[in-house]
Amino acid sequence: MESTKIVIAYFIYLPIVIGLTIFVSKKLFESGKSFMVEIFRGQENIAIATNKLFEVGFYLVNIGWALVIMKIAYFGYTEEVSSQRVIEILSRKIGGFSIYLGVMLLLNLFLFLRGRKVARQKQLNQQVNMQQQPNFGYQK
């Protein structure tokens, strides 16, 4: 593939994958705030700070992965090819990244749900323990 077409492909690829990452991250972590508040038992400052750190990590991992897989030569096309072939390569790369991003979204959602379940179980255990404590004849 001639270098001009490769450069053009990169200029198309990068904004799309970065835009997708930002879009998914914003939606995920806007919704994730309520999970984090529940996980941290209403301590909103800690929940929001932790959510922001997860968001930064999400950006780093996903944009980093997009850069790692950016190289077009991975598909084995080194000779000059048509513009149609460039579009096909880009659609395959962007489609693959979209699937990867969807998996990351589901993984994060699973982690949010798992964290909420653990927090609810701890709260339930505390309530049960408080009810089971003997009062030794003292009345409240």
The whole-angstrom separation of Cα 69 and Cα 55 is 21
Residue ranges, the chain, pLDDT below 50 = 1, 74
pTM of the shown model: 0.75
Write down the pLDDT at residue 74.
47
Write down the pLDDT at residue 80.
67
CA distances, 131 to each of 41, 117, 125, 127, 134 (Å): 20, 21, 10, 6, 8
The whole-angstrom separation of Cα 44 and Cα 11 is 40
Write down the pLDDT at residue 21.
95
